[in-house]
Amino acid sequence: MSRTVATICTKLVRGIISPMKRQRQEITASIISKNLIPQPTAYTPYGDIKFYCPNKEALEYQRELLTREPDTIEWISNFNEGEIYWDVGANVGAYTSYAAKVTQGPPYWPLSHPHKHFHFW
């Protein structure tokens, strides 16, 4: 059902912008695309974490933040305020963002592949 609705909406938007010049079509499609990207929030005991989810796989990190790796969450939850958590093996940075909420500090993780990291705030 989701794919069908998405296909219909995509065709509708393309039809609406088709009279525009090519560059204007691309700009308009880009703006629409950006405006439609979900930005769900994970609610934690230490504060909310807003996720930027440009694809359906990214939505899993928001939905499963506190349940996907309960041992990791328990470990991070025992950090003290002001401690620094350096996540060398960060995948997309979800646990780093959680640690930043727990310690009330900035998140630290090396971006070896920046295209792989989603935006959290």
The pLDDT tens digits for 60-103 are 988 999 999 999 999 999 999 999 888 877 677 889 899 999 99
> Considering the domain boundaries, does residue 111 fall inside one?
yes
Which structural domain range is residue 62 located in? 41-116
What's the confidence (pLDDT) of residue 48? 95
24 and 54 together in one domain: no
Cβ atoms 68, 76 nearer than 8 A: no
What's the confidence (pLDDT) of residue 87? 81
> Considering the domain boundaries, does residue 85 fall inside one?
yes
Express each pLDDT in 28-67 by its tens digit: 999 999 999 999 999 999 999 998 888 888 889 889 999 9
What's the confidence (pLDDT) of residue 110? 67
Cβ atoms 59, 38 nearer than 8 A: yes
30 and 48 together in one domain: no
Distance (Å, whole) CA 44 – CA 69:
14
> Considering the domain boundaries, does residue 58 fall inside one?
yes
Cβ atoms 42, 62 nearer than 8 A: yes
Residue with token string 């991070």? 76
